Amino acid sequence: MKILIVGAGPAGLSFAALMLEADRSHSITILERNPAERTPGWGITLRDHALSFLRLDPRLATQSLDGRALRYRGELTIDLPNPPGVCLVTFPRAALIAALADACCDRGVHVTFGVDAALLSENDLAGYDLVVASDGAHSAIRHRYAVMFKPAVMQGRNRYAWLGAATPFDKLTILLTDESAPLLAWAYKYTSDRSTFIVECTEQTYERSGLGGRSAHDACAMIDDAFAPVLQGQPVLAGRSIQWQSYRTISCEKLTYRNIVLLGDAAHTTHFSQGFGTMFAFDDALSLQTAFESGRDVAEALATYESMQRPKVAEFQATAAISMQWSERLLESAENRNEALTRELIAARWPHNEVTASPLGRGSRTTRCKLH
């Protein structure tokens, strides 16, 4: 087939590698709107079996998280080991993208950067047997055919920002402080000396504290002060600016239209507190590649993909929505100084040290693909 992949994120790159693993005769073009030199994001987490699925382990220097922890006002309130059989691995997002791009390059497919898919004409798209829209939550392809895909957006109540920290958190750690402005943070190391540090606050705190009007330096200084007891004297890190936004859960009534298919965040988003994003991108890629097995044509394969993935999207978005609502209630209770409810919500976060099932479960064919 002649395949166009729009977006060089985990979903698009892994699908390209999977298709070429199955059949080297495919002709695949990958377009990315961002420039090649843009470094994407901080660190991400995966269940460790995802690395064996894509044979990524030789390409990535990973960190393992030792369990889960929650600190309230700096005090260690919950301290749990990893549940049996569960291991989270972390690494820079840029390293994952580079590893997947190298795997595609090894198969003769290169990414063309700086091309905006919004500028592609109908004739451009019609020249391909399959068009894969893996261009993220702000997908230009999904937007162009919104009448057909029928996307819906559920807006979260909290504001959040993706930041980094120079403190390595050895466990997946939730931090809650309410001593001045109530703030919630999600932290985990992705190198030996760096952590992802996602900060949330209510809309009321956002307005009162003036976070939206502060420079990145001033906002980080405020966050440094709020979490000083656990940052060990190390700073919170940001780029030149900080984007404070409300989380948008995107779902689509249809994942396919004509010869076009949505993958990853272009098709669905799940709140960051569950860490489903990259796992779901991989699962979408595997499901779509599987749908093309047994000689199916494009229309039949896309119908199969649609029937496979839509129930999963509903299931995992429901789980992520509960997690998002937990953080909203927790910050609301902290803002209202409802100590009893705050501690009740904290105790309910990880009952019996249970772990939520993720996309790309262990039932997937975790060793069939050889992304060397």
Domain borders along the chain are 2-65+94-154+252-328
- Residue 229: helix, strand or coil by DSSP? helix
- Where residue 268 falls among pLDDT bands split at 50, 70, 90? very high
Q: What is the pLDDT of residue 51?
A: 83
Q: What is the pLDDT of residue 367?
A: 29
Lowest mean pLDDT among 63-77, 113-127, 136-150, 311-325: 113-127
Q: Over 60: is that where the pLDDT of 319 sits?
A: yes
pTM of this prediction exceeds 0.85: yes
- Average pLDDT across the chain, whole number: 92
- Where residue 48 falls among pLDDT bands split at 50, 70, 90? confident
Q: What percent of the chain has pLDDT over 70?
A: 96
- Domain 2-65+94-154+252-328 classification at class level: alpha beta
Q: Please check whether residue 255 is in contact with residue 291, taking contact to mean a CB–CB distance below 8 angstroms.
A: no
Mean pLDDT to the nearest integer, 94-108: 91
Q: What is the pLDDT of residue 305?
A: 96
Lowest mean pLDDT among 222-236, 286-300, 305-319, 335-349: 286-300
Q: What is the pLDDT of residue 19?
A: 94
Q: Please check whether residue 280 is in contact with residue 255, taking contact to mean a CB–CB distance below 8 angstroms.
A: no
Quick: pLDDT tens for 154-167.
999 999 999 999 99
Q: What is the pLDDT of residue 199?
A: 98
Q: Are strands 2-6 and 195-201 parallel, antiparallel or unpaired?
A: unpaired
**What are the E-state strand segments in the chain?**
2-6, 27-32, 43-47, 63-64, 67-72, 75-81, 88-92, 111-113, 130-133, 151-165, 172-177, 183-189, 195-201, 236-237, 245-252, 256-257, 260-262
Q: What is the pLDDT of residue 349?
A: 95
> Please, what's the b/e burial string for 239-266 (b: 16 or more CB within 10 A of its CB; e: otherwise)?
eeebebeebebbbbeebbbebbbbbbbb
Mean pLDDT to the nearest integer, 278-296: 91
Task: Region of 232 please: left (phi>0), alpha (psi -120 to 50) or beta.
Answer: left
Q: What is the pLDDT of residue 361?
A: 62
Quick: pLDDT tens for 28-39.
999 999 998 776
Mean pLDDT to the nearest integer, 94-122: 91
